[in-house]
A and B are shown apart, each in its own frame.
Chain A
Amino acid sequence: MKTPDPRPTAVNTPLTDTPRRRAILKQLRSHPTVKGSVIALVLLLATVLLAPFLAPQDPYNLAVLDLMDGRLSPGSASMNGFRFWLGTDSQGRDMLSAILYGLRISLTVGLSAVALATVIGSLVGLMAAYAGGLIDTLLMRLVDFILGFPTILVALVLLAMLGRGVDKVVIAIVVVQWAHYARIMRSRALQERRKEYIEAALNLGFPAWRIMLRHLLPNCLGPVMVFATIQIANAIVLEATLSFLGVGVPITEPSLGLLIANGFQYLLSGDYWISMFPGLALLLLILSINVIADRLRSALDPRST
């Protein structure tokens, strides 16, 4: 039973702007888990950006590595007094540096894959919703077709054909993921297209592209953006999975997944740090992204504001 709510909406507040964005941010900030997640994420982002400066060792520079330093436990020092705070892996790589660089790759893959998929998927969904008819049917059958395949399978096949590399991983993820965005954008755009301001735009003789991009798109971004934020975490996990399986990034540029894979064999012999610390880093990254995305979703829900 919904009691009438006569509280003033922005209508009645004086001329000073209180944009909805501010209200949403306020709601986000107020939740304690969100605060923690934002702090964690900001720290992670900072370390990732500053990785070249923070990392004591460049894990990709094979010349620096010394096999003699291999599998040293956390806190131990190398031959020349260099302290490995998180231990080393089998190649003598400093885990701390490797994790910092690995986070970089994870975030790069996550963000670029999602950005590309969002752009492609949104445009397709928008076109399908606006054009309707045959174009809509064709595009949506294509979407259905793509969504029928499990993402990992397609990614595996694609990467087998394309080879290893960060850019190829991004392509593989985008090829499957864009279809989700298309669906979401299309359903939102179908609702929005019926609204009278779109009819008004048609009535004023605006060209189709203008109505789609200037009028329809900005008002349909909400659910797509929320989905995208959640998908960043998914893309990161996907990349980690693919690298774990050995088809993602090259061995010389380990991502978190590859690090976890490398350390797997040593897990039972007691050298836990080679897998565990990358795993923890991955967990922390995904957790903070998911918490923020979840709160973003409920904050963007128009009924709550």
Chain B
Amino acid sequence: MSHSTPPVIELRNVHKRFVKKQDLIQRALQLAGKPPEPRTVHAVNGVSLAIAPGEVLGLVGESGCGKSTLGRVVSGLHRQTEGELLYQGTAVEQLNRMGKLAYTLGVQMVFQDPQASLNPRQRLHQILGEALQVHKLAPMGEIPARIDKALAEVGLAAEYRNRLPHQLSGGQRQRVGIARALMVSPKFLVCDEPVAALDVSIQAQVINLFMDLRAQHGLTYLFISHDLGVVRHISDRVGIMYLGKIVEIAATAEIFARANHPYTQALIAEVPNVTRRKRMFVPIVGEIPSPLNPPSGCTFHPRCPLAMTRCREEVPTLEAIAPGHWSACHLNHTSA
């Protein structure tokens, strides 16, 4: 990895908070003395990441961990509350109009729900051709050829150009979503649980498609998923998120071989594995806390089998425990 090329995407201490607005009645009740309910969701709580060109960074976590929000901050759909987002070395805020357009088109997103991610009223050729028309990326005469090429690239026959989304299967719709993202020649794809809604045998097809496209177009991915197996297969590096923070991040092989954070260890142990048989489940206890009301200190401490007093009081920071392997856990400081 050369140090002269800047990372495609860099996040520096990015926070994203959502504040629930109070309506008049709630405000009145509060004035009358009702204790205030927590209204702030700290969806992304100080995340710093750098994704190098050509890399696939897998982001794993369960509900409420903020991975989807982080994906949307990276692609520009949400504006971060605090912190910096850099695209190819320049802060997005400081980009001029041309630069902003380059960033918008350069970072594309593939969504989770194949049904909701396509406009039900548009035919495929309209879905795919619209961006080219709006931004004048290709002369009008060339557009049909580009559409056919895009369809072929994701494995759909050219006749599909006149179909409506409800005439496609889930897997096919997902392919159209990928083709749509590729139409604007992006450099970076944020894939938000792209295979979660698909059947197992279709998942394999779409995962292969992602890998092929990455090689063909030299793309960089942020691959968000709750499925450790899929992430392990496609990613170069894996980051584990819990309640808005990255608790561990390392190269794929390293994190699976030497998981450090207790949450990572629990995740890896819990994922049902086809090669194991009839085992005694020993799950970690406790519910996933609500992001409206996170626990103090290390947010994982109520569920951690190895929690100490320090974990309840102090928030651990991400530290390098090995080259390229970062973990946020107080246990790394004990002498044991």
Are A and B close enough to touch in the complex, i.e. CB under 8 Å? yes
Name A's B-contacting residues (CB within 8 A): 9-13, 15, 17, 19-20, 195-197, 199-207, 210, 215, 218-219
- Taking CB atoms, residues of chain B closer than 8 Å to A17 are 167
Closest chain-A Cβ to B282's Cβ sits at a distance in Å of 34
Say whether, besides A203-B77, A203-B108, A219 and B184 are in contact (CB < 8 Å).
no
- A-contacting residues, B118-137, CB 8 Å: 118-121, 130-131, 134-135
Complex Cα distance A201/B76, Å? 12
Stretch touching chain A among B49-57, B109-117, B286-294: B109-117
Cβ of B159: which chain A residues have Cβ within 8 Å of it? 15
Residues from chain B with a CB closer than 8 A to the CB of A11 are 166-169
The answer to whether the Cβ of B104 comes within 8 Å of any Cβ in the partner chain is: yes
Cβ-defined contact, B105 with A204, below 8 A = yes
B45 at the binding interface (Cβ < 8 Å): no
Cα(A202)–Cα(B111), bound, Å: 13
Contact of A219 among B117, B120, B135, B168 (CB under 8 A): B120
Cβ of B42 under 8 Å from chain A: no
9 A–B contacts from the bound complex (CB under 8 Å)? A12-B169, A15-B163, A195-B116, A199-B77, A200-B117, A200-B177, A202-B77, A205-B101, A219-B120
B120 CB → nearest A CB, Å: 6
B75 within 8 A of A: yes
Interface residues in chain B, defined as those with a beta carbon under 8 Å from any beta carbon in chain A: 72, 75-77, 101, 104-105, 108-109, 111-113, 116-121, 130-131, 134-135, 159, 163-164, 166-169, 177, 180, 184
Closest 10 CB pairs of A and B: A196-B117, A196-B111, A205-B104, A195-B116, A204-B131, A218-B121, A196-B116, A197-B119, A10-B167, A10-B166
A123 to chain B, nearest CB (A): 18
Residue numbers in A under 8 Å from B105 (CB-CB): 204-205
User: When A and B form their complex, what is the total count of cross-chain residue pairs whose Cβ atoms lie within 8 Å?
Assistant: 67
Cβ A203 vs Cβ B119 within 8 A = no
* CA gap between A218 and B117 in the complex, in Å: 16
**What residues of chain A lie closer than 8 Å to B72, measured between beta carbons?**
199
CA of A201 to CA of B119 in the docked complex: distance in angstroms? Answer: 9
Contact, CB under 8 Å: A204 / B130: yes
Given the interface pairs A11-B166, A11-B167, A215-B119, the reply to whether A199 lies near B134 with Cβ below 8 Å is no
Min CB gap B233→A, angstroms: 24
Task: Identify the interface centre among A13, A197, A201: most chain B CB within 10 Å of its CB.
Answer: A197
Report A303 CB to chain B, min CB distance, Å.
Answer: 15
Given A11-B169, A197-B117, A199-B111; A205-B77 close (CB under 8 Å): no
Q: Which residues of A contact B109 (CB under 8 A)?
A: 199-200, 203
Nearest-neighbor residue (CB-CB) of B105 within chain A: A205
Q: Which residue in A12, A13, A20, A206 is a CB contact (below 8 Å) of B130?
A: A206
Q: B131 to chain A: which residues have CB within 8 Å?
A: 204-206
Whether A13 lies near B104 (C-beta < 8 A) is: no
Chain B residues whose C-beta falls within 8 Å of the C-beta of A207 in the assembled complex: 134
Q: Give the docked Cα–Cα distance between A199 and B180 (Å).
A: 13
B76/A210 in contact, CB under 8 A: no
- Which listed residue (A9, A10, A197) contacts B118, Cβ 8 A? A197
A9 and B173 alpha carbons, distance in the complex (Å): 14
Residues of B within 8 A of A13 (CB): 167
**In the bound complex, do residue B121 and residue A219 qualify as a contact, i.e. CB atoms below 8 Å apart?**
yes
B108, closest chain A residue (CB): A203
- Bound state CA distance, A15 and B177, in angstroms? 20
Contact status B134-A206, CB under 8 Å: yes
Q: Is the CB of B119 within 8 A of A219?
A: yes
A5 to chain B, nearest CB (A): 15
Contact A203–B75 (Cβ < 8 Å): yes
Q: Which residues of B contact A219 (CB under 8 A)?
A: 119-121
Considering the chains assembled together, what is the distance between the CA atoms of A204 and B180 in angstroms? 9
Could you say which residues of chain B place their CB within 8 Å of the CB of A206? 130-131, 134
What's the nearest-Cβ distance from chain B to residue A231, in Å? 24
Flag if B77 contacts A204 (CB, 8 Å).
no
- Chain B residue nearest to A204 (CB atoms) is B131
The complex places the Cα of A199 from the Cα of B108 at a distance, in Å, of 11
CA distance A199 to B118 in the complex (A): 10
In the bound complex, what is the Cα–Cα distance between A13 and B121 (angstroms)? 18
Contacts of B116 in A (CB 8 A): 195-197
- The docked-state distance in angstroms from the alpha carbon of A201 to that of B117 is 10
In the assembly, what is the distance between CA of A203 and CA of B101, in Å?
10
CB-CB under 8 A from B111, the residues of chain A are 196, 199-200
A199-B109, A199-B111 as given contacts; A205 in contact with B135, CB under 8 Å: yes
Residue ID in chain B nearest A18 by CB atoms = B167
**Which listed residue, A10, A15, A195, A204, touches B184 by the CB 8 Å rule?**
A204
Report the Cα distance A112→B217, complex, angstroms: 54
CB distance from B23 to the nearest CB of A (A): 11
Say yes or no: A204-B134 contact (C-beta < 8 A), given A15-B159, A196-B112, A199-B77. Answer: yes
Check A9 against B75 for contact (C-beta < 8 Å): no
Nearest-neighbor residue (CB-CB) of A9 within chain B: B166
B180 contact set on A, CB distance < 8 A: 200, 204
CB distance from A70 to the nearest CB of B (A): 57
Q: Are A205 and B75 in contact (CB under 8 A)?
A: no
CA distance A200 to B120 in the complex (A): 13
- Minimal beta-carbon separation of A43 from chain B (angstroms): 34
Cβ of B108: which chain A residues have Cβ within 8 Å of it?
Answer: 203-204
A19-B164, A195-B116, A204-B180 known; 10 new pairs, CB 8 Å cut-off, are A9-B166, A196-B117, A199-B111, A200-B177, A201-B119, A204-B134, A205-B135, A210-B134, A215-B119, A218-B121
Most buried by A among B104, B112, B113, B119: B119
In the complex, which residues of chain A have a beta carbon less than 8 angstroms from the beta carbon of B104?
203-205
In the bound complex, residues from chain B placing their C-beta under 8 Å from that of A218 are 121
- In the bound complex, CA of A11 to CA of B166 (Å): 6
| A15 CB contacts on chain B under 8 angstroms | 159, 163
